[in-house]
């Protein structure tokens, strides 16, 4: 049984107003994001596909995966994409004490900084989108921008078809949308089908794919 929402309800924005769900803009701009990497071959494929469409994206990386695959992490940065923190071990915030959760994020931050000397923004996305209010409050106090989403591709769901994954994005995306894909083995089949189609469809309609770091709201 499906336990996730494709389009984030406005109610969530009201409950968590300090979290970033999408961007208000009149411009044809979209924000692709990729969770759970870097992953050998999968992340490399994503980077090559983005390059074909002159698209930029934001990668929310797991700390232990950065440690295991630093060369892929560095390639993400070298190719002009943004990177964010996705905890060190893909922790579920609802199931983790506040102190343990914050410590795990700090470990991932140190790993990120070890390989990425140019980090300006502290972007964070909670795995599964699950974070306690106290965890969020303390992260914001530490200067993090917590990036959620308004469109979930559901590429991780192996019970849906590749076409359904594509339609999830196509039917729910609007100007300023933050879209979630995963550069992981689990999501690879659906993601590899949907991503090129999403890039092609919106590029032909004049949309640009930008990094979240480029959004001026992050500097407010």
d(CA 162, CA 25): 30
- Active site residue: 69, 81, 90, 182, which one? 182
Pairing assessment for the beta strands 178-182 and 151-152 based on DSSP bridges: parallel
Q: What is the DSSP string of 13-30?
A: HHHSTTSB-----SS-EE
d(CA 34, CA 45): 12
Active site residue 182: yes
Closest CA to 32 of 152, 214, 209, 203: 209
- Active site residue: 35, 150, 155, 157, which one? 35
Cα angle at 162 between 158 and 168, to 5 degrees? 95
Active site residue 35: yes
> Annotated active-site positions, please?
35, 182
């Amino acid at each position: 049984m499906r336990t996730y929402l494709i389009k984030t309800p406005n109610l969530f924005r009201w409950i968590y107003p300090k979290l970033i769900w999408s961007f208000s803009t009149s411009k044809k701009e979209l924000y692709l994001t990729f969770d759970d990497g870097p992953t050998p071959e999968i992340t490399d494929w994503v980077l090559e596909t983005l390059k074909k469409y002159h698209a930029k994206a934001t990668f929310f990386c797991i700390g232990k995966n950065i440690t295991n695959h630093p060369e892929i992490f560095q390639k993400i940065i070298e190719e002009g994409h943004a990177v964010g923190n996705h905890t060190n071990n893909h922790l579920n915030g609802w199931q983790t004490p506040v102190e343990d959760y914050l410590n795990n994020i700090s470990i991932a931050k140190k790993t990120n900084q070890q390989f990425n000397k140019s980090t300006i923004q502290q972007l964070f996305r909670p795995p599964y989108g699950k974070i306690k209010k106290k965890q969020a409050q303390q992260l914001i106090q530490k200067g993090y921008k917590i990036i959620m989403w308004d469109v979930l591709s559901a590429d991780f769901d192996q019970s849906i078809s590749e076409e359904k994954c594509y339609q999830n994005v196509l039917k729910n995306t609007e100007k300023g949308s933050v879209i979630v894909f995963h550069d992981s083995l689990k999501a690879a089949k659906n993601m590899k089908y949907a991503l090129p189609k999403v890039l092609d469809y919106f590029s032909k309609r004049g949309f640009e794919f930008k990094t979240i770091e480029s959004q001026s709201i992050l500097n407010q």
